[in-house]
């Protein structure tokens, strides 16, 4: 496992937030929903509920006391210190420009609850959203609109009341100043927002579109203070040293740019007694220490400068954890099972840039990546190669299409290549683990490139029909760990042996952020988020409509086949149909060869000073260290007395 890079993008996507990027997933065991069904004057069924699930079932009933997996009696207090790499110049997480502090979105909340440090809420079901700022959500069975009935006790961190007018203002703010792909998609799908009174707001959705994830979307949009924006003159699209006025449990405390930031629990937070918050937000302070590089970061952990670490380097996990604090039992090293699907990491090809807009060229270049050598030589045999965009899920494409998936593909007509219907799903190539440059794969790659007019000249250069050498620009960040840099370097060296010129000079995180947003690269080692449902956010990740501007579509994929499958998925009415469509989507994405897939580890690798405790067992969908772990004051005092902590 290596760290993957998904740069800051100006909008925080959580599991059920904007555009349903992650969406709902497989149906689990469910309790009867707590809801009231009425009828409008037009005779349509109206549902009023404490939460929302597209399939109609909610695990937690109305009036639930707390999430099943938390410790409602967890003590509150203390400080947890983590690390971050790179730099930051402000706290407006939603700005399109600049280099905002990575975690600065934690200050905001929405109608539905989320895990503010990242992840969906609750962490034991993927199908449900539950009201937080909202008290109830109301919508017709056809989901043509929804109304949020808001709580009357929600306040911003300055104590001013949060009202429906603020929610409407924020919605429009994202349309006017938010990232382009988000604003465009929202305008096409959400036709109106109406403030009915101070605590009631209605959203109206467009006709003849999938409404599968629209209630989740508007319910997951953060809400800011209209008055604060008017008084300060701040803009959502501009970097700022000010943190937007919002209602979350944490607020920016102390900080020094590029060195550290401290988020403090707001003692006046309105929601401490909300059932969704019981047993959560247990640390008084969450501090992030910033480091320029991976080596300095790890040395600081060994010295006790920060006290919790998520490990992303297989080399370090295998060989680096032998320092005195761990030997003395002051540091705990754990591999905790991870029940979530792995993100789709690997070398991504930017299809906006010729010749990477050619599938055969992408296939050829992917053959230069030797996963088996990487795993054995750089990752200590600890990773498993990802073969699917839906690894380990029920919608992972296997073999040739059949049943409902085959019927769906056939129904889409000529947009589906004939071989997709008769050939097995694309699998990663195999390679010789003894040599990073596999000659068998080199020969296969040369055949593909020859078909596209490339040849090796008498100087050993891979040249195109125009006689110019094939040259590629690999975006690399200086803050990446040594293993990840070694993967890129080895891959680049293999391409160079093939006669392909590769530029892979490392840049700082700010420059890398901007280049990623501008899609100013040919290759990058990063990730696509995994998908588990047919939310309209699939268009953000894989759709042609927003390919050039979407920060979640690293390859800028523009595939009529993928577009047609996404449209079909959004039109499904049952989970069985949805799974068939998602399986077809996985098959199509693998066919397009936009990623040379890397490996994954189905566990959280963590190390921490022995002063933290957690629920047992953990929920299947989140590690939750900043959400529902807690601090043991006695253990901290003992470590401090021994000199283990700075």
pLDDT beyond 80 at 299? yes
Mean pLDDT of 269-273: 96
Q: Which residue has the tokens 């203070």?
A: 225
Residue 361 token pair: 């060229």
pLDDT value for 104:
93
User: What pLDDT band is residue 5 in, cutting at 50, 70 and 90?
Assistant: very low
C-alpha triplet 381, 386, 391: angle, nearest 5°: 130
User: What pLDDT band is residue 40 in, cutting at 50, 70 and 90?
Assistant: low
pLDDT beyond 70 at 631? yes
User: By C-alpha distance, which of 23, 123, 14 is closest to 620?
Assistant: 123
Residue 336 half-sphere exposure, CB side, CA atoms within 13 Å? 23
pLDDT beyond 70 at 349? yes
The per-residue pLDDT for range 435-465, each reduced to its tens digit, is 999 999 999 999 999 999 999 999 999 999 9
pLDDT beyond 80 at 153? yes
pLDDT beyond 70 at 621? yes
What phi-psi label fits residue 280: left (phi over 0), alpha (psi between -120 and 50 degrees) or beta?
beta
Q: Are strands 250-256 and 260-265 parallel, antiparallel or unpaired?
A: antiparallel
- Quote the mean pLDDT of the chain: 89
Rounded to whole angstroms, the Cα distance separating 633 from 635 reads: 6
Mean pLDDT of 331-339: 92
pLDDT value for 560:
97
User: What pLDDT band is residue 38 in, cutting at 50, 70 and 90?
Assistant: low
Backbone angles phi, psi at 595, to 5 degrees: -135, 135
DSSP annotation string for 112-131:
B-B-TTSSBSSTT-SS-EEB
Q: Are strands 603-609 and 331-337 parallel, antiparallel or unpaired?
A: antiparallel
Q: How many CB atoms lie within 10 A of CB 289?
A: 16
Q: How many CB atoms lie within 10 A of CB 38?
A: 10
The per-residue pLDDT for range 65-101, each reduced to its tens digit, is 999 999 999 999 999 999 998 889 999 988 878 889 9
pLDDT value for 43:
67
Please tell me whether residue 468 adopts helix, strand or coil conformation: coil
The per-residue pLDDT for range 576-610, each reduced to its tens digit, is 899 999 999 999 999 999 999 999 988 999 999 99
pLDDT beyond 90 at 509? no
pLDDT beyond 60 at 34? no
pLDDT value for 480:
87
Mean pLDDT of 102-116: 94
The per-residue pLDDT for range 525-584, each reduced to its tens digit, is 999 988 887 877 898 899 998 899 888 899 999 999 999 999 999 888 888 899 999 999
Q: In this prediction, what percent of the chain has a pLDDT beyond 70?
A: 93
What domains are defined for the chain? 18-75+98-241 (3.40.190.10), 344-600 (3.10.105.10)
Rounded to whole angstroms, the Cα distance separating 396 from 137 reads: 34
Rounded to whole angstroms, the Cα distance separating 40 from 636 reads: 58
Question: For the chain, how are helix, strand and coil distributed in percent, rounded to 5?
Answer: 30, 20, 50
Three-class SS of 263-328: EEECCCCCCCCCHHHCCCCCCCEEEEEEECCHHHHHHHHHCCCCCEEECCCHHHHHHCCCCHHHHC
Q: Do 291 and 301 contact (CB within 8 A), yes or no?
A: no
pTM for the whole structure: 0.80
Mean pLDDT of 49-74: 93
* Positive/negative CA dihedral, 97, 101, 106, 108: negative
Rounded to whole angstroms, the Cα distance separating 620 from 310 reads: 17
Question: b vs e for 618-643, b when ≥16 Cβ sit within 10 Å of the residue's Cβ?
Answer: bbebbbbbbbbbbbbeebbeebeeee
pLDDT value for 343:
83
Choice among 39-43, 147-151, 228-232, 343-347 with the minimum mean pLDDT: 39-43
More confident residue, 55 or 644: 644
Residue 18 token pair: 């904007």
pLDDT beyond 70 at 32? no
pLDDT beyond 50 at 237? yes
Mean pLDDT of 381-403: 93
Residue 36 token pair: 């009231």
Backbone angles phi, psi at 332, to 5 degrees: -100, 135
The per-residue pLDDT for range 465-496, each reduced to its tens digit, is 999 999 999 999 988 888 899 999 999 999 99
């Amino acid at each position: 496992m290596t760290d993957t890079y998904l740069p800051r993008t100006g909008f925080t996507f959580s599991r059920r937030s904007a555009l349903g990027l992650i969406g709902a997933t497989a149906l689990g065991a469910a309790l009867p929903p707590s809801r009231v069904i009425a009828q409008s004057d037009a005779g349509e069924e109206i549902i009023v509920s404490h939460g929302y699930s597209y399939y109609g079932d909610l695990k937690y009933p109305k009036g639930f006391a707390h999430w099943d997996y938390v410790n409602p009696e967890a003590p509150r207090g203390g400080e947890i210190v983590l690390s971050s790499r790179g730099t930051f110049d402000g706290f407006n997480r939603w700005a399109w420009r600049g280099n905002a502090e990575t975690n600065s979105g934690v200050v905001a909340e929405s109608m539905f609850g989320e895990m503010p440090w990242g992840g969906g809420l609750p962490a034991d079901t993927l199908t449900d959203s539950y009201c937080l700022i909202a008290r109830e959500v109301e919508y017709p069975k056809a989901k043509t609109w929804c109304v949020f009935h808001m709580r009357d006790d929600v306040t911003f961190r300055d104590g001013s009341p949060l009202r429906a007018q603020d929610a409407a203002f924020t919605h429009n703010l994202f349309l006017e100043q938010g990232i382009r792909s988000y604003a465009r998609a929202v305008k096409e799908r959400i036709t109106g927002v109406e403030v009915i009174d101070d605590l009631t707001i209605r959203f109206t959705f467009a006709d003849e579109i999938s409404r599968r994830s629209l209630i989740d979307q508007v319910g997951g949009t953060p809400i800011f203070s209209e008055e604060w924006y008017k008084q300060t003159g701040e803009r959502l699209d501009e970097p700022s040293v000010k943190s937007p006025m919002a209602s979350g449990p944490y607020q920016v405390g102390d900080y020094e740019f590029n060195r550290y930031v401290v988020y403090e629990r707001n003692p006046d937070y309105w929601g401490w007694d909300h059932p969704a918050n019981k047993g959560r937000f247990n640390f008084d302070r969450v501090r992030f220490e910033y480091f320029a590089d991976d080596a300095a970061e790890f040395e600081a952990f060994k010295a006790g400068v920060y006290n919790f670490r998520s490990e992303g380097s297989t080399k370090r996990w295998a060989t680096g954890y032998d320092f005195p604090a761990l030997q003395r039992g002051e540091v705990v090293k754990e591999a905790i099972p991870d029940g979530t699907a792995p993100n789709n990491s690997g070398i991504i090809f930017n299809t906006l840039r010729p010749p990477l807009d050619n599938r055969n060229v992408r296939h050829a270049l992917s053959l230069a990546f030797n996963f088996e050598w990487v795993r054995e030589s750089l990752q200590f045999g600890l990773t498993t190669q990802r073969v699917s965009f839906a690894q380990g899920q029920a919608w992972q494409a296997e073999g040739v299409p059949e049943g409902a998936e085959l019927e769906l593909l056939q129904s889409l007509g000529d947009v589906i290549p004939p071989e997709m219907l008769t050939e097995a799903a694309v699998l990663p190539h195999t390679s010789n683990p003894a040599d990073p440059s596999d000659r068998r794969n080199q020969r296969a790659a040369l055949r593909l490139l020859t078909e596209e007019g490339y040849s090796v000249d008498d100087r050993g250069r891979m040249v195109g029909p125009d006689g110019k050498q094939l040259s590629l620009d690999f975006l690399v960040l200086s803050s990446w760990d040594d293993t990840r840099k070694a993967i890129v370097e080895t891959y680049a060296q293999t391409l160079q042996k093939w006669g392909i010129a590769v530029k892979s000079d490392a840049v700082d995180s700010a420059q890398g952020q901007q280049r990623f947003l501008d899609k100013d690269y040919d290759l990058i080692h990063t990730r696509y988020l995994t998908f588990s449902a047919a939310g309209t956010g699939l268009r953000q990740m894989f759709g042609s409509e927003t390919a050039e501007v979407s920060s979640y579509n690293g390859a800028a994929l523009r595939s009529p086949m993928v577009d047609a499958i996404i449209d079909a998925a959004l039109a499904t009415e049952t989970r069985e149909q949805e799974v068939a469509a998602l399986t077809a989507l996985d098959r199509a994405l693998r066919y397009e060869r936009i990623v040379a897939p890397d490996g994954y580890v189905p566990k959280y690798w963590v190390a921490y000073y022995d002063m933290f405790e957690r629920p047992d067992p953990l929920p299947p969908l989140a590690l939750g260290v900043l959400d529902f772990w807690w601090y043991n004051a006695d253990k901290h005092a003992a470590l401090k007395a021994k000199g283990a902590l700075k």
